[in-house]
Every structure is written in structure tokens, then in C-alpha cells.
Amino acid sequence: MTFFKSWQSYFYALLLHPTEAKVLIRSHNNNYFLPRIKINQGIWLSNVQVIKDAMEQELNIAVNVLYYVSYQVNKKQRQIQGVYVLEQHNPIEAIKVGVWCNRETLETLSFTNPEEQSIIEQYLIEHENSNIPKLRPPWARSGWFNEASTWIKEQLDKLEYEQLTPIEYVKSWSISCILKVQTSAGTLYLKEASTLPLFCDEPVVTRELANLFPNHIPTVISIDKERHWMLLADFGKPIGGNVSLKAQQDIYLLFAQIQIQSVQHGDRLLTVGCLDRRLDILQSQIDPLINDDDALSELSIPEIERLHSIVPTLKNLCSQLASYKIPATLVHGDLHLGNVALSKNNYLFFDWTDSCISHPFFDLFELFFARNRPWFLEGLRSLWQRKSQEHLRDRYLSQWIQYESSERLLEAWNIAKPLCALHHTITYQRIIASLEPRTKQEFNSALPGFLRKIISSVAQLG
């Protein structure tokens, strides 16, 4: 049965000649093809270190992974196929197997897979014309990895840290790239996040938050403000979702306390780069969202009509929520247990790319919208999950009693649910609109999913 079939990943290399508009190809029986590797597991598109290691072994040279040209997942066959652009700085003589092919030669060759021939041609045209899309992020451009590596080594020299391992990718995709290196002071991380419209100035904001909440924010060792880089000290591994209910309660209680403490620093956080996404701003973003045909393109006509019909309700909910005495606070923007680490008996919150000043409850998306369980986990487990979510909610809300009574906090919580979905919908609307076309697939299901949550949660209000 397909269900029990192991995942297989097939990746193909577009390796560009260091000085000429040529790509490395291989041949068998006069049929040509791109260098390829097979990995006996499913590899997510951002896990480029695995691809880099396998390609280096196959080609017997050092390479950097720039970006994917194509990435396809066949769930039925449990197969992944991707074409990745690589760069290398070895002498040409180091490559022992294959030939370098330019556009003129390309037209005379027969390829095992004609699609590869088309991909090579499009890539060479882009390279020859220096026609790099404006929306392509810096880390997907030639030379970035080496520049970032040089900067990391400069910071290590200043700090007198010893580098123990080569610099590696942690993650590279459309909205960020993260590198890591093992040093005598632990694992250090370099991150560059995209400068998308609703993203904060993350290096500066993270440094400011670390000053305000030093026990619960990673330490920023160094910043390159112009290139939007930050070097973070070791802060442990993400705790993920498999932690006890007690630990989750402690995390949400702590985060509420951080939000409450942030009230007095709101103006400062706005000044250093947090975005203003308070309720009046949210209310003004409803019409542009509902009238964005691209954002609504995956919805059915009845769903679109329903969204248009609830616009007055959404605006009224913004006004209702604003009438409660709950202040605008620091909002992480992507709060989940994968963005929380445990270090020296303290919980640390990281990945502040989406941080802003807004309604605090908008950070509780994971509590408002618990993930659906497979059918065989329904029943008692679903009941336990609902009870757990209620315990977490109550633990979180208990910290806000200084602003409103328990009854009114629950009222505000219910009102905030569709607005939480709205807040995150607008985030993804802006992200997707600002991405290079080839990478929009990374968020294919996110936007329609958030839009449907708006519809369903408004319906639940009655």
C-alpha cells in the first residue's frame, strides 16, 4: 500500500560555470541529463544542508545551494523532485565527470527529460541577461553564503571564539536564511530575514527585546544593520509540541507576563522597528483584503460572497474588542512551541520576524485554532485536547485580570478569535504578494486556510 511506502527525494543540480554562461550536464548513450541525487527520505524544500552534503559527495566538490528552480511533492507516490541552483568556487579541473553546456550547444543535444533542457535554457537566459528578479532574496544570489561566512568569522575573531565546525545551513527558503556554526562558546546562528512589508527590523528588535527581557530572548552578539544580519548566541533547541501540559501552561503564563511588561515599552518598540498593527489599523485593512482578487483566488464563489457579507461584522468586532481595557502589547506574530527554547531553566522566545504592537490575544492562534486530528484520534483524545486548550487559555487569561474581570476577558477572547484569524490572514496576504513567483507555492494552503477560519469563527459567534 502507498500509505506504507517510504518517501523518496530526487534532486537535480543546476551548477553554473564560475566564469561563463554554462551549466554542467552529464550523458549516457548520447542522452543528456542534469547531475542528480536520490535521498531515501522526504526532504522539505528549506532543508538545503542535506541537499548540499549529498551534492558535494556526488560531484566531489564544495558547493553552496542558492535556491530551487522547481520543487514538487507527489503525495500519492510519496516522491519529491526538485531542481536546485548551485554555485562552486573550485578550479574547473576539479570537476571530473560531465561537460559544460552553453545555450548554443544545448539546442543540439537530446535530453532524457526534455523538461530539464527547458529549465537549463531559461536559467542561462536569465544569467546571460543578468535578469535576476527583484524579489529574489539576497541569500538566493551568488556570493551571499561566502559573504555571510566571512562576516561570521570576523565576529568570531573579535570575540576570540574558536570555530570548531564548518558553517552550515539550518534553513533557507523564501522569507529567511539561517546558518549555524559550532564554536568554543556553543552554537551560534546567523539569520537574515526578508524585508517584506509586514516584517519588522528583526535584528534591531531582537536586540531591544533581549535588553528588556534578557532571560527570555536570545542574546544578539552582533548586527549588520545594512545587510539585515544578526548573530545569535546559543539558546538551545526548540522544545516543539511534545511537552507536558504543565510546561505549556508555564510558557503561556510567562508570555502573558512579557506582553504585560511590554505595555510600558510600546513607543520604544515602535521606534526600533516593531510595526503598528493595532485594532484601528486592522480595521482599515479589511476592505483591501476582501477586494484582493489574488488573495481570494483559491476560495469558492459562495465563500467569497460570505466574506463580503461579513465585512461589517468584522469592522464592528474591531470596535467591540477595542472597548475592553486590554492594552495593545508586544505581539510575536508567529507564536508556537517550535519558536520556544529551553535554556538554563528559562524559556526563550525567538524568531521575531512578525513582531508588532497589536492586541495581545492575536498571538494565541494555536489556542484559538487547534490542529485537526486524524479520524482515528478523535473521540476521547479530541475531548482531552479541547480541555487542554481551555486550561491553557484560562492560564493565559488569568494574567490579564488586572484589566478586566474573568467574565469580560472570556467575552474579549471570543470576540478576538475571528480577528486573530484576520490578523494572520493579512500577514500572509502581504507575504505572498511580495514573493518571487516560483516560491509562492510555499504558502499555497496558508491564505485560503486563514480566510476560511475567518468565515467559520464569525459563524460560531452566532
Q: Which residue, 180, 205, 232, sits at the end of a domain? A: 232
Of 162-166, 307-311, 442-446, minimum mean pLDDT range: 442-446
Question: Does 160 lie in the same domain as 36?
Answer: no
Is 240 within a domain? no
Question: Does 381 lie in the same domain as 254?
Answer: yes
Is 102 within a domain? yes
Could you report the per-residue pLDDT of 85-118, keeping only the tens digit for each?
A: 999 877 777 777 789 999 999 999 999 999 999 9
* Alpha helices for 323-379 (secondary structure H): 365-368
Question: Does 123 lie in the same domain as 63?
Answer: yes
Is 85 within a domain? yes
CATH classification at residue 359: 3.90.1200
Q: Which residue, 65, 98, 131, sits at the end of a domain? A: 131
Question: Does 379 lie in the same domain as 433?
Answer: yes
Question: Does 302 lie in the same domain as 352?
Answer: yes
Residue 404: all three cell numbers together: 478586566
Is 388 within a domain? yes
Question: Does 206 lie in the same domain as 86?
Answer: no
Q: Is residue 417 scored above 50 in pLDDT?
A: yes
Q: What is the DSSP letter of 16?
A: B
CATH classification at residue 103: 3.90.79.10
Q: Is residue 376 scored above 50 in pLDDT?
A: no
Residue 352: all three cell numbers together: 521575531
Is 238 within a domain? no
CA-wise closest residue to 249 among 364, 69, 394: 394
pLDDT band (50, 70, 90) for residue 2: low
Is 237 within a domain? no
Residue 56: all three cell numbers together: 558535494
Question: Does 161 lie in the same domain as 284?
Answer: no
**Looking at the DSSP assignment, which residues form a beta bridge with residue 27?**
32
Could you report the per-residue pLDDT of 420-452, keeping only the tens digit for each?
A: 999 999 999 999 999 999 999 999 889 999 999
CA-wise closest residue to 13 among 79, 74, 98, 96: 98
Mean pLDDT of 224-233: 96
Q: Is residue 3 scored above 80 in pLDDT?
A: no
Question: What is the percentage of the chain residues whose pLDDT exceeds 90?
Answer: 85
Higher pLDDT, 4 or 204: 204
pLDDT band (50, 70, 90) for residue 372: low
Question: Does 334 lie in the same domain as 391?
Answer: yes
Could you report the per-residue pLDDT of 343-359, keeping only the tens digit for each?
A: 888 999 999 999 999 99
Domain interval for residue 153:
139-232
pLDDT at 384: 58
- What backbone phi and psi angles, to 5 degrees, belong to 219? -75, 125
Task: Using DSSP bridges, classify how beta strands 23-28 and 99-101 pair: parallel, antiparallel or unpaired.
Answer: antiparallel
CA atoms of 197 and 330, how far apart (whole Å): 18
Amino acid found at 323: S
pLDDT at 219: 96
pLDDT band (50, 70, 90) for residue 273: very high
State the SS3 of 295-318. CCCCCCHHHHHHHHHCHHHHHHHH
Question: Does 368 lie in the same domain as 264?
Answer: yes
Question: Does 287 lie in the same domain as 180?
Answer: no
Mean pLDDT of 385-391: 83
In angstroms, the Cα distances linking 234 to 181, 185, 215, 238 are 10, 8, 13, 12
Q: What is the DSSP letter of 131?
A: -
Q: Which residue, 175, 204, 232, sits at the end of a domain? A: 232
Domain count, the chain: 3
Other CB atoms within a 10 A radius of the CB of residue 410 amount to: 14
Burial of 241 (0-12, 13-18, 19+ CB in 10 A): exposed
Q: Is residue 382 scored above 80 in pLDDT?
A: no
pLDDT at 380: 44
CATH classification at residue 150: 3.30.200.20
Is 239 within a domain? no
- Measure the CA dihedral 251/253/259/261, to 10°: -120
Is 396 within a domain? yes
CA-wise closest residue to 188 among 216, 213, 211, 219: 219
Mean pLDDT of the chain: 93
Higher pLDDT, 234 or 95: 234
Could you report the per-residue pLDDT of 59-80, keeping only the tens digit for each?
A: 999 999 999 999 999 999 999 9
Q: Is residue 10 scored above 80 in pLDDT?
A: yes
